[in-house]
Chain A
Amino acid sequence: MAASGGRTVGSFLWKCGNCCFNFNTVSSNLTRQVLSRQLCVSAVLHRKNLAAAGPEKFSEEFIKKQVEEFNIGKRHLANMMGEDPETFTQGDINRSIAYLFPSGLFDKKAKPLMKHPDEVFPKQRAVQWGADGRPFHFLFYTGKQSYYSLMHVSTGSLVGSRWLLKEELEELLVETISEHDYARFIQLMERLLSLPYCSVEEDFVQRYRRQLEIQSSKQQVQPLQYDQHGVAYSTGDGRRKTATGTVLLRDSGSGSISINGTNYVHYFPVLQDREQLMFPLHFMGVLGRFDMQCSVSGGGHSSQAGALRLAISRAMLSFLSEGQVETMRQAGLLTPDPRIKERKKPGQEGARRKFTWKKR
């Protein structure tokens, strides 16, 4: 009885003692925290990623000042140690600090450190929006703009290339593939390009693409010819809708145009046709430079003017540089117009007009 009583008391005391002990340790922890001083204010010691936490805590000027102070301090340290300030590396700094401030502490994070401010202060984002409050990045409102923009990195320009043709793919694989197989292949490759991170597989994708030819290289430019007086001339011919025209373009002229022997004002009384003749010359800015002798037959007045325009553009190519040839092509001056009169169909009155619909 007494023993059991003693045990309970002992256990009771032990429990009290435990509580007291706990109480003591809690109070001693508090005092320890109050009494301890943090040696270094760097956020590297903290576990949390302060950089992503909120707006910048260190302004750019502050960081710059820190960098200057660090560099000056490095030189002072080098002088102190009697070494050359120019070739004082980080390893040398660490050794000097360990020598000058010997620390008996075991925790590595508690030891004194001297590092470049970029390593000490975490990388922070500058303000993401301008003076009007509008954010710079288009993915700002996702919250994680860099992450999502990384997901959206696209492959290099796919504009100037095309997918492999079925025959070329067969050649590459040394196997016969059906049309369905080829269609499925193209479908899967397009799907691959639509996924994020597709730029990782850019090499793989480019293997199955071929560059398209530059169209202007297909233009055949005749070399310039010279007549007995040394004046440069060139010829061109064009067709439009059953009208054919040829033109002889002579350099260092006054801008006179004769068509089938008559002056162009008499031959084309309509302004629109004369404008069409002038179009290639005006576009290149050589209005008064050439003399032209044209001959044209077939078609109506508009198609004759169109045929002559094409002939003039083709004749002018010999006088122009590569870039100018490309601009003329993009203006639509060098393509022969393929539009022709649409044929009449049986069961209809014309190409489109149907016979009158009679109810009975």
Chain B
Amino acid sequence: MADREERRFAEVSRESVKLVAEGAGVELGDDVAALLAEDVCYRLREATQSSSQFMRHAKRRKLTVEDFNRALRWSNVEAICGYGAQDALPFRSVKEGELFFIEDRDINLVELALATNIPKGCAETMVRVNVSYLDGKGNLEPQGTVPTAVQSLSDDLLKYYQQITRAILGEDPHLMKVALLDLQSNSKIAALLPYFVYVISGVKSVSHDLEQLNRLLHMVKSLVQNPYLYLGSYVRSLVSSVMYCILEPLAASINPLNDHWTLRDYAALLLSHIFWTHGDLVSGLYHQILLSLQKVLSDPVRPLCSHYGAVVGLHALGWKAVERVLFPHLPAYWANLQAVLDDYSVSNAQVKADGHKVYGAILVAVERLLKMKALSQPVEGGSSGQPATVVGAMGYRVSSPCLSPPPEPLSEAALGIASHLQAGGAGCPWEEWTPVPLPAMYCELYSFFGDSLAVRFSTGPDFGSFPTCTPSQLRDARKEAPGPTSNPDTTRKMPQLTANLNISPRQDGSPRTDPPPPSLAVTGAGRALARSSSSSSSSSMQRSRSSSSRSGQRSAGLSRDVFPKARFTSPQIGPPAFTFIIGGRQMGRRCQGRRPFQTTFAPTPPHSAIPPRAYAHKLPVIGRVGKPVRRWACSHYSLHLPL
């Protein structure tokens, strides 16, 4: 105990005493210095002791320089001046002289005196009352909501706030840029944060105006990037605003001329940015985001643009999120998507175009998932002989989440020698959910995407051996995976998905033994699909094992034959054909097609040919379909300003 206490004491060595004495021009003997040092220590402790009393009575936890000075004053010692700064002083050492000192910058008094931006000082002290606990029961106001008047604003701040919001929401792009830049670097706007957050939460009232939403998102970005702002619990509010932009079936998205896709992409990027930089401020944020994305994804009534947002959001949150949420949902979702894609009717063209958008997004997300998973898998030479049955049973835990780096060009070695057979999927820290091993995952995904996956995944010759299914089998699998529900009658009417599972076509001779669970109801469809997909994945795995000897046989021609997109394309509509072209192009240079789809997909607006409003009624959820899409001339008026 004595030792422990001792360490908490101020210690002044005799060398220090000597140095100080030298500085004062006195030569001290060793014994004198030692005595002095000891006494100095004692006095120092004494002063600290009595200064703590001032701290306690000021009802603080932090001992300040002022407390210490008071203690000194009461023991008739002169106070120490010049250390009143709030922030910690950097303590430097000089190696040669074993000297320690506090860095003391020169302050240019002239500059200081003539400075025009004199801080106004903080707002007036005030008392605010709120009923915290009614009848000792609960909070009227949930914890962590935005307090409405934490600060009363000084005139300057108010003016600043008005100018900034006007500039950002106004018409002048240059002004906006300046405002955003300032917002990003201004160190004195902490008091305004609640107001800005409030403005941003106004996104919900401007769902018709993409430009406005975009500006608000930029505002979020600036706030998030401002190093002087502590966002605290406002993160939650910001995230919900961004999520709105990602997921909501915006009124603006009815008009295919409006590029709401870019907005969603941007918002998703922003979401991931907020999450990675400020996610630690709010506990459970990640889970909440995942949950809401999952909810949207699993809701078949939502329009496709919402689904797109969910997929992009998951993609932005990293491959783990994709693996955790999107992948399990894929079989269920696939059926819906396919139903859309399979509908060639003219009235469906718009929806179908959206469907392709979602398809592309899923493809990109899944690709990265596979890549990252493969990367995170430990390389185990000669593991090819390992029985595949252990594949799912054991899992290697990856210590680091391995989320951040963008997919490197895959080294051939990493995926090299039959790595798909290696035991152990990429471990994932989620307890309640068991990871699917990579090969199984690949097989399942392959069953959905066919060669477009394999190609974009940059398999190369080595990897070519990976999906050992024969093209015909692949086709079977392809058909089979959505099979149970994708019989034409049911899939066409996506919202009323009443799957009659008993009559699902099973034309393949795969060694699948377990029959798909006979679930009937609409609500049960998703689950049933999930289960049947798992069975199909296992069956494809078995197939892949059984046919492993025929690796490397795949020929381009066959793949093309297999390439299922052809079925979706209808000659008279542009966009689907476009997808096909991508596939073809990538087939041509197979090893390079691993960049995100935006490079190939996005720049070409696929729906330009389609008359805008003709298919609006196809979007099931948006209730305001009938409303004509208007652009607001002076749209910042639509934002309710909180002042």
Partners in one complex: no
What residues make up the interface of A, taking CB atoms closer than 8 Å to B?
none
